[in-house]
Amino acid sequence: MTPTRILFVGATGSIGRLAVNEALRQGYQVRALVRDATRAGLPGDVELSVGDLTRLDAFETALEGADGIVFTQGSHTSAAMVEAVDYGAVRNALMALRGRKVRIALMTAIGVTYMNSQYNRTIEAHDWKRRSERLVRASGNEYTIVRPGWFDYNDDDQRRITFLQGDTRHNASPEDGVVARRQIARVLVDALGCDEATNTTLELVAEHGAEQDDLAPLFAALEPDPTDGVDGVLDEDNFPLTDQPRRVLDDLETIRRAR
């Protein structure tokens, strides 16, 4: 499905603002979930829905009439906040849909399946991002999951968009790949209207060379995720469901039942 009215979650962040602008440029109707309308600072033709993304009722209002969602939210302060924001916003949106189908573009991070990074051990950021990916795959919605490399570490001539799969780069540094924020926003929005992007998970980096005009061939070259699992197609099997918190398993079951 190609959506027309997109809800942006994380719209006032550094990627979210660029994604909102890109969606407007491409002709989408844009709605943003914001905590404070007076401080949002978004273009005037963006519809604002005021609410807290950690609350289910905020999404029940924000998703009225929307047929697409772009998630770019993120927290880096504590395990509790990462759970509430990175995972909780995705959970709340899917629960609020109650099985109604939308097109989803979810941003997580390159290295999200890397279990041994100090960053992940400190605040469990990768664990909660990975669990949010699983919710999306289990929901029955069409989706694209984008795991960008390190933001804006590009050289001036490093603009050729490149998709990877399997999440095999585990340096936990820019050596894993770099990409411009603007390009992340473009890939998220382009994925919404691209049939070839449906139900795929990719790592996004930029290599030396010029940026492509058309990303459809890159999406078409990806392997789709399996329909009978909750992980990316080539992801390492190192995060068993049997080790997940009971509340996460309950969320997965509730979202599956609503399909």
Give dist(CA 40, CA 13) in Å, integer. 10
Residue 34 phi/psi, 5° resolution? -130, 150
Inform me whether the pLDDT recorded for 120 exceeds 80. Answer: no
At 99, the amino acid letter reads G
Task: Give how many domains the chain has, as a whole number.
Answer: 1
The model's confidence at residue 76, banded by pLDDT at 50, 70 and 90, is confident
Per-residue pLDDT at 79:
87
The pLDDT tens digits for 61-73 are 999 999 999 999 9
The distance of Cα 88 from the centroid of its chain, to the nearest Å, equals 13
The model's confidence at residue 77, banded by pLDDT at 50, 70 and 90, is confident
Give dist(CA 9, CA 20) in Å, integer. 10
Q: Tokens 């009978």 map to which residue?
A: 228
Whether 106 contacts 132, CB under 8 Å = yes
The pLDDT tens digits for 209-228 are 999 999 999 999 999 999 99
The model's confidence at residue 240, banded by pLDDT at 50, 70 and 90, is very high
What does each C-alpha distance from 188 to 24, 70, 71, 219 come to in angstroms?
Answer: 13, 7, 9, 12
The model's confidence at residue 123, banded by pLDDT at 50, 70 and 90, is confident
Per-residue pLDDT at 168:
97
What does each C-alpha distance from 144 to 71, 222, 224 come to in angstroms?
Answer: 11, 11, 10
H/E segment holding residue 229: none
Specify the pTM: 0.97
The model's confidence at residue 252, banded by pLDDT at 50, 70 and 90, is very high
Mean pLDDT, the chain, rounded, equals: 96
Domain span at 141? 5-257
% of the chain with per-residue pLDDT over 90: 93
Inform me whether the pLDDT recorded for 119 exceeds 70. Answer: no
Whether 120 contacts 160, CB under 8 Å = no
The model's confidence at residue 90, banded by pLDDT at 50, 70 and 90, is very high
Sign of CA dihedral 64, 189, 10, 43: negative
Quick one: tokens of 53?
Answer: 């993304």
Q: What is the DSSP letter of 3?
A: -
Arithmetic mean of pLDDT, 22-48: 97
At 132, the amino acid letter reads S
Specify the CATH number for the domain of residue 245.
Answer: 3.40.50.720
Per-residue pLDDT at 116:
76
